[in-house]
Amino acid sequence: MNMKKLALSLAIAAGAATASLAAHAADTIKVGVLHSLSGTMAISESTLKDTVLMMIDEQNKKGGLLGKKLEPVVVDPASNWPLFAEKTRELISKDHVSVIFGCWTSVSRKSVLPVLQELNGLLFYPVQYEGEESSKNVFYTGAAPNQQAIPAVDYLMKDLGVKRWVLAGTDYVYPRTTNKILEAYLKSKGVKDSDIMINYTPFGYSDWQSIVSDIKKFGSAGKKTAVVSTINGDANVPFYKELGNQGISSQDIPVMAFSVGEEELSGIDTKPLVGHLAAWNYFESVKTPENKAFIKEWHAFTKNPKRTTNDPMEATYIGFKMWVQAVQKAGTTDVDKVEQAMIGQKVKNLTGGMAEMNKNHHLSKPVLIGEIQGNGQFQVVSETKGTVPGDAWSDYLPGSKDLIADWTPPIMCGNYNVKTKKCIGQKF
């Protein structure tokens, strides 16, 4: 065989191999899984990776989607915020995923947002956050501040008679913005500056002795004091341990946490923490047929009857179910068509009632206040009547109170000013 014929044969073989690979790739719908499996946030995020894999497995057992199997593409951004953006670009441009389920911290979500908008990707974000955002490329299935932070403060104020407030958070955008909203809300209720203490600590912070001592001192002024905690990740473990070390009980200074669920408590001796609180839209202890089935499926999938469930898992579950329904409705995984098909989608909450995706890409969900029990579970002590629609923009911040998000025609805008009738942000 001469060199020309050999080159031609090799080229034909390479082309056939490429075509075969392309045909194989076309047989699946790729689903990106963008959660930290290492670093400070792995304690929280690795469970969400497993949740997405469980949902994909369940859907494939039903025959897949649009006649194709779902194929997970799992990456580890390793609690490194710039790496989230890099991995997102790879998932969309290189792996050609149709959707991404991922992120926990708001700084990771903010990191991937420009990439999603540039490449027209689609992200389902399953964790409570600070609001002040609505993107065409993101569906926010966790709680907005009016679905967690505001109801939690109302409970502490009205039910427990709290007068002094410690706003303790990890030093990044979610705690700072949430506390800005809470500070404005507390002042609107007549709380004085001197009755508000604000403190921020780095990710992974472990030396809590002096800070907890300051909290204890702040709470000794003769007024009922509470901690509103936006501490994230594995820093929660030494924080709660130090509360116990210094003898701070829930009767003395109750802690209301926004980022501590069953998963985080599984690594702590919860006996000294009994009575402390958390605000979520879901607790594992809620008894409904849907939740019972979900927990059973989780234990079977993980082959571990001791694995707990938590709120961001339910938000992942709801988002995944809605995405499947939207793809089926649109008849395609095309992002623009799926985005429009998502609005109005409904899925049963695991705690009862129906979650609905609104025009602002936020869900309507119930708000639950839970009290930590000795077994690491939460007992529900307060629950909203019906569901609460998530607000993308806070009513308590001057620059936000006139803004709405509406991703339906003719507005199609995430930052629409109802007074000026103008879109000041991302518009399509």
Q: What is the pLDDT of residue 86?
A: 98
Both tokens of residue 81?
């915020």
**Same-domain status, 301 and 274:** no
Residue-averaged pLDDT of the chain: 92
Domain that holds residue 214: 146-285+369-389
**Same-domain status, 106 and 152:** no
Q: What is the pLDDT of residue 241?
A: 87
CATH number at residue 242: 3.40.50.2300
Q: What is the pLDDT of residue 397?
A: 93
Instruction: List CB contacts of 373: < 8 A, sequence separation 6 or more.
Output: 270, 274, 285, 379
Interhelix angle for 149-159 vs 173-188, to 10°? 40
**Same-domain status, 349 and 278:** no
pLDDT profile of the chain (428 residues), mean per 10: 50 47 67 97 94 98 98 98 98 98 96 97 96 97 96 97 98 95 97 98 96 96 96 88 91 94 81 90 96 98 95 97 98 98 98 96 97 94 94 94 96 95 76
- Summarised one tens digit per residue, pLDDT across range 408-419 is 999 999 999 999
* Domain contains 241: yes
User: CA nearest 262: which of 294, 229, 307, 292?
Assistant: 307
**Same-domain status, 177 and 254:** yes
**Same-domain status, 247 and 356:** no
**Same-domain status, 241 and 373:** yes
Q: What is the pLDDT of residue 273?
A: 83
**Beta partners for residue 362, in sequence order:** 140
Q: What is the pLDDT of residue 263?
A: 82
Both tokens of residue 216?
């204890």
**Same-domain status, 173 and 247:** yes
For 92, phi and psi rounded to 5 degrees? -80, -50
Residues 112, 89: Cα–Cα separation, whole Å: 8
- Summarised one tens digit per residue, pLDDT across range 173-227 is 999 999 999 999 999 999 999 999 999 999 999 999 999 999 999 999 999 999 9
Peptide bond into 175 cis (omega under 30): no
**Same-domain status, 77 and 175:** no
Q: How many residues does the chain have?
A: 428
**Same-domain status, 327 and 218:** no
Q: What is the pLDDT of residue 326?
A: 98
CA Rg value for the chain:
23
**Same-domain status, 379 and 253:** yes
Domain boundary among the residues 308, 333, 365 is at 365
Distance of CA 247 to the CA centre of its chain: 32
